[in-house]
Amino acid sequence: MKINIDQEKCIGCGTCVAIAPNTFRMNDETNKAEVINPPGDSEEIIKMGVESCPTAAIVIE
Ligand code: SF4
């Protein structure tokens, strides 16, 4: 599974990190989300995080 976060679209809301903390984390310098371990959480949870992103910044390939 390859997960990309569009850094231009990410507004740093933290929702994906709250839902799938083993897959995403907030970058302290950019205040945007990044992928730490794909797939650190179950596919179902990751998909929930993707669908919850308000700007559709996360893309699974
Ligand atoms: S849910 Fe979307 S906008 Fe919010 S931190 Fe994650 S990638 Fe960024």
14: left (phi over 0), alpha (psi -120 to 50) or beta: left
Band the pLDDT of 1: cuts 50, 70, 90: confident
Answer whether 19 contacts ligand 1 (Cβ < 6 A).
Answer: no
Helix H or strand E segment including 30: none
Answer whether 20 contacts ligand 1 (Cβ < 6 A).
Answer: no
Model confidence, pTM:
0.95
Report the C-alpha gap between 18 and 22 in whole angstroms: 10
Domain containing 17 equals 3-60
The string of pLDDT tens digits covering residues 16-46 is 999 999 999 999 999 999 999 998 999 999 9
User: For position 7, which CATH number holds?
Assistant: 3.30.70.20
- The answer to whether residue 13 scores a pLDDT higher than 90 is yes
Q: Specify the number of domains making up the chain.
A: 1
For ligand 1, the distance from its centroid to the CA atom of residue 42, given in whole angstroms, is: 18
For ligand 1, the distance from its centroid to the CA atom of residue 61, given in whole angstroms, is: 17
Best substitution site from 3, 4, 5 to test ligand 1's pocket, by max atoms within 8 Å of Cβ? 5
